[in-house]
Each structure stands twice: as C-alpha cells, then as structure tokens.
Chains A and B, each alone.
Chain A
Amino acid sequence: MKVDVALFASLSEYHSVDGDTRTRTYDLAEGTTIADLISVLGLPDQPRIVFVDSRHAEESAPLHEGQRLAIFPPVAGG
C-alpha cells in the first residue's frame, strides 16, 4: 500500500524528499502501523504530534492505502 509521509521541523532530516515538499511516498506492507514506520525511519525517542488525514492519530494505529501521515516534534507558537 502507498502512504504519503511528511516529516516537519527537526524531523525533516530523517528522510529525503523530492522537490519543495517535506513529503515522500512509501510503499508499505499491509498492517504496518505508525509506530512501525517511526521505527524504520529512526525518529528520535521523544514526544510527537501525529496526524493521519488531518486528524490526530495514535501511534499504534495501522496505516491504510492512500493515507497522508504527518509527524511533528513538539512545537508551538502563536
């Protein structure tokens, strides 16, 4: 299954992307969870903010074909 994955702020450097986006399409095995992908990407062990298709998601959730996963380190502003 194909999933678009976007990594932001300090996490951007954990994968290479094409063009002016922070997004890369991954071909993943069915049943892959967000946590599985985070492990493969080697993201640092720290709190994260995770969205799947614009909604907050738990890292234990399985990914599905065509979804967009966005992961941020703890950030805020205002």
Chain B
Amino acid sequence: MRYLLRVNMSDLTITKEDLPAGWARYGGRALTSAIVFAEVPPTADPLGADNVLVFAPGLLGGTNTPNGGRLSVGAKSPLTGGIKESNSGGQAANALGRLEIAAIIVTGKPADPDARYMLTIEADGSASLSRVDEWAGVQNYALADMIKATRPEDDRYSTITNGPAGEAGLKASGIAVSDMKGLPNRFAGRGGMGAVMGSKGLKAIVVSDKGVGTPAHADKEAFSAALKTFSSALKEHPVSGQGLPTYGTNVLTNILSEAGGLPTRNFSEGSFEGAEATSGERMREVTLERGGDVSHGCHTGCVIQCSRYYVDKDGHYKTKGPEYETVWSFGADCGIDDLDDIAELDRICGEFGLDTIEMGATMAVYMDSGKIAFGDGPAAIAALRSIFEGGEPGRVLGDGAEATGKAFGVAHIPVVKHQALPAYDPRAVQGIGVTYATSTMGADHTAGYTVATNILKVGGDVDPLKAEGQAELSRNLQIATAMLDALGFCIFVAFPVLDIPEAFNAIFEMTEAHTGQPWDADALMQVGKETLVYEKLFNDRAGFGPADDRLPEFFKNVELPPHNIKFMVSDADLDSVYDFVPEVAAQMGLE
C-alpha cells in the first residue's frame, strides 16, 4: 500500500501516514498539487514554515512502466508566488515507487538557520534525519561523493541534493537528482524549489532501494501485455525510437532556427547564425570524437534513451546533455556559439544548483543591458560564477531574469508570472505563447507543448503563425500533460501517444492492471483536469488574476524577424483556456 512520509523540520519528527482515499488515483504532480492545495495557505511565505515541499513519484512509479520514472517536486514557488510542480528525471522516483512511498512531505523549518540535515530512507522503509552542518555550501558533485562515503559499498541508492544556490534562497535554484550512475545531473530546476529545500535546512535526501522489487500489480498478465504495446510504440515512433536516442533533445536547435522560432539575443530575433555550431547533430559529432556517451536513459525503465554525457577536450565528463533548453538559453539567447562554453555554464549551474533555463534567460537579459556583450562566453562564465565567487554582477543573477532585468534597467524582460520563457519564441510559435501565458506554472514549455503540433507536426497540424486554434490546442495539451505528470511519465511519451491510438489506450490499460481499479480515457483526463483545478484555485487565492495570464507587452508590440510577426492570440482566447475549472471544481466539491 502506498503511503505518505511526513518529515517535520520544526520538531525533526518523521511519521508514516495512510494515503487518503480521495487521493488514491493520484501520483506525481496530481498528488503534489493536491497536497500543496490542502496544506499551504495560498498567501504563505514560500520560504517560511507554512510552505511544504513534496516529492512524489508517479502513480506508476517504481514499476517497469517504460519511461514512467519521473519525479514531481511541489511547493509554493518563491519565484512565481504561485503553486509549482517541478519535474525531474533521475533515479529517485523509481526508488520511492519501489518503497511504495506515494510522497515525502517536508514541513516546518528548523529553529537554527545554520543547521543542515540529511534525510535517509533505507530499503526497509525506515527513515531518519541526521545533522550534516559541515556540508553547508558544498556543491552538488562533491556532495554526491560525500554521501557515497556514508553508504555501504554494495548499496543501491539515489540522491536528491541541494546546492549552494538553494541554501542561499536564490529564486532560480533547483534541486538535483542523481542519474543511473549516481551523478547529480538531473534537475527539478524550475521555480526556486532549491530555495524551499534550503529554507527547511534539508541538504540531501538519500533513498536506498537495494534488494527491493517492483510493487505488485493487481493483474500482472494484463500489465505485461499493455506494457509490451506501449514499449513497442515508443520504439516504433520515429521521434522516440530514432530522433531522440540519436541526437538527444538538442536535435531541436536547427529546426527551431529554421522555423524562425529560436529566441536569439534576448528574444530579439528568431534564427541564430550559430545554430549549426550548437546543434544536436554537431554535439553528437563532438561527443563521439571525444569518446563521450551519446545515448542512455536517465532512469530505470527508460526506452527512449535521450540522455548523453558531454566530455571536455580531454575526454573527461563535464556535464549531462546539455539539453536543448540549456543549449538554447546559454547559446542562441546569449548569442554564444561555443559548445564548450555552454557546457561549462551548464556545469556551473549543476554545481551551484541553478535552473539552466532561468539562468540562460537571465544572462541574456544581463547582456541586453550592455554590461557584457552578446556572444562573449568567457564573460558569461565569469558573470555566472560571480553569484558565489564575488565580482559583478553577483547575487542578483541568481534571482532570475526579472530581478536582473529590473536591476539593470532592461526593457525586454521575457517572463510570465515572474518565470523566464523557455526556448520557443511565442511570436513564431503562437500556441506555446498560450501555454506560457496561461499555465499555472508561469512560462513553462512542458506544461502544454504545442511545439509538437505547431512545428514538429506530431499529433496534428496547427499553423504556428496564426492565432486560430491555439487556445484549444494548449488547453488539451495542458490537461493531457498534467495527466502524464500524475502517472510519472516522461513527457516525450506524448509524441507516440499523440500519433498511435494503441499507445494511448495502453496507458489506461497499464494503470488499470497495476491498480486494480477501473480506468479509461475519461478517467485519465479527469485526473489531468483535477490537477489543474488545484493549481488554478491555489493561484487565484494567492492573488493571481487574468492580468497575470499574459505575455510581456513587447511580444505584442515588437515584430520578430524573420517572420516579422507579433503575438496575436486575443486576451479572450487566453481567458478561455481554463474555462473547464468551475465545472470540475464543483464536481470535486471545491469552491
């Protein structure tokens, strides 16, 4: 039976609780958002004792479900001021799922702000807090080594760690999750979740699952049959079966540049002359030349295998990926066309525990101020290091694009709900602009990835340069994504699921066979809707209104080359995206 592990950092107690019956259909994001909605006052100080930090594997977490090992991290966000679910790969969700922990709920705050704790969950389910004050300020990779020194040699464990950025309360801080080799290189990056973890004095979580099998299925045979169908679809679809494993997520750099939608030099152009030099194709060639690894999974059960290790000129591991969003943020958005500079910036973020999307966008805003030049990689590296190592501009960068833009008087600050826009310009990809504007998360491409349909022609074809159809597309994808996040799926399963009906059916067939409860397509979508209802109501009560569901004015007033186009989706269309909320909230007994 899945259960909740509640860790109170005020009195340092740990308790196990039954999962409430009303949440039995929830996992992952559905559960983190339900818990935050139920337990956090919407106007709470995100870094205060009233906030909670929730770690939840998906409903199928711990099973052999292909690409079903994602981790949801939830809290009230210090960056957006709203609810947040930050999603990470890595091994921790699989380990928590095997232990049948539906969620870790971290509450309260230690009286001593200098105290640091490690939460250890052993394979027998026992959990304890230990004092690790000497680890204060330690960066993520060294921290991983220190943790390793505390574990038995034959252990199998995963880590969730907080770098110096989170300890310092920086709004761009993220939480690191170890990959299958134990490297702390997967991130719940967005929304300042590291700062929440830091406010609770929690430096690390260790989860051992040595010798622990997968949770039992209600109908093992039916589960295996559905799993086989699902796995075949992932391998057969050209995107998940060929494109992603061969080139990784950075395969997108060239196509977005060709489509005129790759935000370049702080969202001032849509194509980057350095796209080829920073592309997934080029990155694969460089990595192979240097003896790096160009295809592996980030968690047990991954069949897509889009992860890779970037190595330096001497063939030594530098960092994971870097992923497309990182290559874009420190690459095109900063005008930097050197993959080694981008990898160095990615590694620094990994060490400090900073969100690479927010930090690249922040660096581009800083460059736009004229303090350093677009394209100057070494200057960007020095500026990023200055957050902790002194010099200009220092700490302000770590609070993100909006804080930096205001500090340096920059006119164009690309944020929604205080969170930086990711790697698709909403003028050339109008659908993603709807998602950026309306998502409960702030600007977040993963919340409703219309790029699939607008640009990549997966799951249909909606013209990226027109306003028509974008609100409906975004709504449907936001609901479907919340559902996938609740089950613990990597969102890349959406590419085959959108194109292959059997793959979609296999999702509810696996869920039904695993839980023993009836599931169908409507039930899946209902969980997606309920997740968004919790999030929307929380944000409304935190003070958000329609004016917060808008892009910055310059996207509506300044044309983007090469299409010379503005964002055209009407406010009425934006306000229609969440029109299902009142009805579903009433069904849930809310409002």
- Given A6-B258, A54-B563, A73-B238: A49 touches B456 (CB 8 Å cut-off): yes
Q: Assess whether B491 is in contact with A54, with CB atoms less than 8 Å apart.
A: no
Using CB atoms, name the residue of chain B closest to A47. B238
Partner among A21, A54, A70, A78 whose Cβ is within 8 Å of the Cβ of B252? A78
Which of chain B's residues have a CB closer than 8 A to the CB of A74? 237-239, 242-243, 456-458
Give Cα A21 to B271, complex, Å: 15
A63 to chain B minimum Cβ distance, whole angstroms, is 16
**Residue B251 CB within 8 A of the other chain:** yes
Interface string of A30-69 (1 = CB under 8 A from B): 0000000000000000110101011110000000000000
Q: Assess whether B324 is in contact with A70, with CB atoms less than 8 Å apart.
A: no
**Residue B276 CB within 8 A of the other chain:** yes
Using CB atoms, name the residue of chain A closest to B323. A77
Interface string of B558-572 (1 = CB under 8 A from A): 000011000000000
Q: Range of interface residues on chain B?
A: 35 or more
**Residue A20 CB within 8 A of the other chain:** yes
Interface string of A1-19 (1 = CB under 8 A from B): 0000010111010000000
Using CB atoms, name the residue of chain A closest to B252. A77
Q: Assess whether B243 is in contact with A76, with CB atoms less than 8 Å apart.
A: yes
Give Cα A9 to B281, complex, Å: 6
Q: Assess whether A76 is in contact with B252, with CB atoms less than 8 Å apart.
A: yes
Give Cα A75 to B271, complex, Å: 18
**Residue A24 CB within 8 A of the other chain:** no
**Residue B437 CB within 8 A of the other chain:** no
Give Cα A9 to B251, complex, Å: 7
Give Cα A54 to B275, complex, Å: 14
Q: Assess whether A10 is in contact with B491, with CB atoms less than 8 Å apart.
A: no
Most buried by B among A8, A47, A49: A8
Q: Assess whether A75 is in contact with B243, with CB atoms less than 8 Å apart.
A: yes
Which of chain A's residues have a CB closer than 8 A to the CB of B452? 76
- Given A8-B254, A51-B259, A54-B563: A76 touches B492 (CB 8 Å cut-off): yes
Most buried by B among A51, A72, A75: A75
**Residue B255 CB within 8 A of the other chain:** yes
Q: Assess whether A77 is in contact with B249, with CB atoms less than 8 Å apart.
A: yes
Interface string of B246-258 (1 = CB under 8 A from A): 1111111011001
Which of chain B's residues have a CB closer than 8 A to the CB of A20? 276-277
Which of chain A's residues have a CB closer than 8 A to the CB of B65? none
Partner among B237, B251, B271, B463 whose Cβ is within 8 Å of the Cβ of A54? B271
**Residue B451 CB within 8 A of the other chain:** yes
Which of chain B's residues have a CB closer than 8 A to the CB of A9? 243, 246-247, 251, 254, 280-281
A53 to chain B minimum Cβ distance, whole angstroms, is 8
Give Cα A17 to B78, complex, Å: 49
- Given A46-B238, A54-B259: A78 touches B446 (CB 8 Å cut-off): yes
Q: Assess whether A49 is in contact with B249, with CB atoms less than 8 Å apart.
A: no
**Residue B260 CB within 8 A of the other chain:** yes
Give Cα A49 to B255, complex, Å: 9
Q: Assess whether B324 is in contact with A77, with CB atoms less than 8 Å apart.
A: yes
Which of chain B's residues have a CB closer than 8 A to the CB of A6? 258
Q: Assess whether B276 is in contact with A49, with CB atoms less than 8 Å apart.
A: no
Using CB atoms, name the residue of chain A closest to B452. A76
Which of chain B's residues have a CB closer than 8 A to the CB of A51? 258-259
Give Cα A12 to B495, complex, Å: 23
B250 to chain A minimum Cβ distance, whole angstroms, is 7
Using CB atoms, name the residue of chain B closest to A48. B457
Which of chain B's residues have a CB closer than 8 A to the CB of A72? 254-255, 258
Q: Assess whether B456 is in contact with A76, with CB atoms less than 8 Å apart.
A: yes
B456 to chain A minimum Cβ distance, whole angstroms, is 5
Sample of 5 A–B contacts (CB below 8 Å): A9-B251, A20-B276, A22-B281, A47-B457, A76-B458
- Counting from the closest, the 3 A-B pairs by CB-CB distance are A77-B249, A75-B243, A74-B238
Residue numbers of A with Cβ under 8 A of B are: 6, 8-10, 12, 20-22, 46-47, 49, 51, 53-56, 70, 72-78
